[in-house]
Amino acid sequence: MRIGFITCVQLGRACIERVHDLGGNFDYLGTLHDDQAINKSGRVWINDLAQRDGITLHRFRNINDADAVAGIRAANLDWLFIVGWSQIAKAEVLQAPRLGVLGMHPTLLPIGRGRASIPWAILKGLSETGVTLFKLDEGVDTGPILHQVRIPLEEDETASSLYTKVQSAHATLMEEAWRRLQQGVVELTPQDDAVATEWPGRTPADGQLTPELTCTQAERLVRATTPPYPGAFLVEADRVVRVWSGHVNDNACDQGGHILRFVDGEYCAHDYSFEARS
């Protein structure tokens, strides 16, 4: 069984490392060129992993480019994993491996198709989320499911803590997938489109705190935009307050804290910084 892997983020690297821990290795590795998406959340390099396996690391600017497709075909793969990749693989890529392309999505599909899965899980106040292993088709996160791992969310869950849980779930799914692929046991369950939801992408500007928010909304936004995301921020008269953590302020703000006022009360920022207003 010849298997390849394409990634440019830590979630994907964790999967490759889990396979190494199992004594396995990939027959093909692909990633972005080193100068691309340096500021991408969770971006990592996998040069050392390719060197460890003694294989060529294939770099490309778009997974659908002719050189990328040619490289995948030349690898004569049975399966290809594409994990943590923002470019949608088109038909030529999906048809390049003999048996298909597998991906992972950090929600319990068909809930939460789309982008920004970690922030949205917190912003929506969900009690649980998860990671789904599925076979890619030409839709966005619409392919049939192989396996899922559920992740309970704590009331004070942050993007940082949830990212760690999601990474662990990716590695767990990778171990399960590796076992099934080696055994040739791949059972696919179609997604139920009737209950599917789509979550839109987010930009750094979506982290803006405004006085019209409730304290609960502000607190969730802060927790949802902590690293690896760029943080929540409030624009004041002559500066920007960047907030990484805090709590709804029932009494006096802790010493060294900074009070932010919202429509129904005050929020005390604990970890914050001031930036010049552009």
- What is the residue-averaged pLDDT of the chain? 93
Evaluate whether 86 touches 41 at the Cβ level (below 8 Å). Answer: no
Identify the CATH number of the domain defined by range 204-276.
3.10.25.10
The answer for residues whose C-beta is within 8 angstroms of residue 117's C-beta and 6 or more apart is 105, 106, 107, 129, 199
How many Å apart are CA 218 and CA 209, to the nearest integer?
6
Instruction: Please tell me if the domain spanning 3-199 has the same topology as the one spanning 204-276.
Output: no
pLDDT for 41 equals: 59
In one letter, which amino acid is 46? Answer: I
48-64 average pLDDT score: 94
Closest listed residue to residue 144, CA positions, set 153, 154, 132: 132
CA-CA-CA-CA torsion sign (43, 47, 53, 55): positive
pLDDT for 252 equals: 65
How many Å apart are CA 7 and CA 17, to the nearest integer?
12
Q: How much is the pTM?
A: 0.92
pLDDT for 42 equals: 66
256-272 average pLDDT score: 90
- Taking phi first (over 0 means left), then psi (-120 to 50 degrees means alpha), and beta for anything else, what does residue 141 get? left
Question: Would you identify the CATH topology of the domain 3-199?
Answer: Rossmann fold (3.40.50)
pLDDT for 251 equals: 65
Percent of residues, the chain, with pLDDT higher than 70: 96
186-201 average pLDDT score: 96
Evaluate whether 97 touches 77 at the Cβ level (below 8 Å). Answer: yes
Sorting pLDDT into bands at 50, 70 and 90, what band is 250? Answer: low
pLDDT for 232 equals: 97
How confident is the model over 98-152, as pLDDT tens digits?
A: 999 999 999 999 999 999 999 999 999 999 999 999 999 999 999 999 999 999 9
Closest listed residue to residue 104, CA positions, set 71, 65, 68, 130: 130
228-244 average pLDDT score: 93
The answer for residues whose C-beta is within 8 angstroms of residue 4's C-beta and 6 or more apart is 26, 27, 28, 29, 30, 72, 75, 77, 79, 80, 81, 97
Domain layout of the chain by residue ranges: 3-199, 204-276
In one letter, which amino acid is 183? Answer: Q
